[in-house]
Amino acid sequence: MAETMRCVDIKNGKGPASSLFLATVPKPQPKAADALVKVKAFGLNRMDLLQREGMYPVPPGVSTTLGVEFSGTIERFGGDAERGFAVGDEVFGLAYGGAYAEYIAVSTHMLMHKPGHMSWEEAAGVPETWFTATQAMYLIAEFARGKSILWHAGASGVSIAGIQLSKADGASAVYVTAGSREKIDFCVNELGATAGFDYHTQDWPREILSATDGKGVDIIVDFIGQKYFQGNLDAAARDGRIISLGAMSGTKLPAGVDIGAFVRKRLRFEGSSLRSRDEDYQGKLRNTLVDHAMPKFADGGFKILVEKVFPWEEIVKAHELMESNQTKGKIICGIG
């Protein structure tokens, strides 16, 4: 009889948070380049909500179980282990799916060693947000010391990581937008952002231009889409990069959008996602994150903000909290 494990499943394949429940399924079997990891904790991400509702199809051949980030211990390998990993190692990493479970089979290219001082819950909250921020900054926007950068949704998990990476690697200025003074103060006072702007009460493109003496910012990382499209063009500096990682306000632009800045300022607009990237790309991204962030993780210089930890038996409450949009840090579920 095949070995089994428990995982979070969805009644009828999709539905509201209340449709989540614990099920018994076959234990995954690692392929040649995979490690089988016994999961200690996993992180929640907004894509999980979309997938739960049936609006985020998983890549072909990927586990339909929710979850893309986790921490745990390596139980065994499917074949030869990647150099530097061994059975019993405490690791954290990114996956294409399947993290809401007691075990996950994942490529070792997507694993990192957990620093001893870092808790399982903190480690589980690192991969998706820090990988995404690293990808946007270094692999797409080609960030370099001395460039200025604007992170929209400043109190989101990705931007919390991005603000810290930007500051540590010598950005000339780090700006944020957020929906409340509390969130802006958090980004400035706790994370070290240069300044922040409340999109409810301030004309943030005008404020950015004022703060930069009319120059604008070199890099903009956006999750909002339609509502910010014109503002991003206005706030970008000459030869600026606008990185689109989402479209929370919609994808269809209104009449009257002026795209003249693309030519006038020589702007580059590029979108990206992480889950669709192959394992070689993920390995390159992991190595970039290790180079830029691991020393700060190891010495505690980077803050890993965990909003709340739930036992995974309370996965419904965890999803409901994420849906409330009232959090600043990560929501984590612990197993066992």
pLDDT single digits (tens) 5-40? 999 999 999 999 999 999 999 999 999 889 999 999
* Contact by Cβ (8 Å): 200, 179: yes
The confidence score (pLDDT) of residue 130 equals 96
Confidence band (pLDDT; 50, 70, 90) for 327? confident
Give CA–CA dist 39/77, Å, rounded. 15
In tens, the pLDDT along 80-111 reads 777 889 999 999 999 999 999 999 999 999 99
pLDDT at 114: 95
Query: Which tens digits make up the pLDDT trace of 254-272?
Result: 999 999 999 999 999 999 9
Diameter of the chain measured on Cα atoms: 69
If DSSP codes are grouped into helix, strand and coil, which group holds residue 91?
A: strand
Amino acid identity of residue 83, one-letter, is R
Q: What is the per-residue pLDDT across 42-77, written as a single tens digit (0 to 9) for each?
A: 999 989 999 999 998 888 889 999 999 999 999 999
Burial class for 61, CB neighbours closer than 10 Å (0-12, 13-18, 19+): exposed
Beta carbons of 226 and 251 less than 8 angstroms apart: yes
Instruction: Write down the pLDDT at residue 113.
Output: 95
3-state SS record for the chain: CCCEEEEEEEHHHCCCHHHEEEEEEECCCCCCCEEEEEEEEEECCHHHHHHHCCCCCCCCCCCCCCCCEEEEEEEEECCCCCCCCCCCCEEEEECCCCCCECEEEEEHHHEEECCCCCCHHHHHCCHHHHHHHHHHHHHHCCCCCCCEEEECCCCCHHHHHHHHHHHHCCCCEEEEEECCHHHHHHHHHHCCCCEEEECCCCCHHHHHHHHCCCCCEEEEEECCCHHHHHHHHHHEEEEEEEEECCCCCCCCCCCCCCCHHHHHCCCEEEECCCCCCCHHHHHHHHHHHHHHHHHHHHHCCCCCCEEEEEEHHHHHHHHHHHHCCCCCCEEEEECC
pLDDT value at position 17?
98
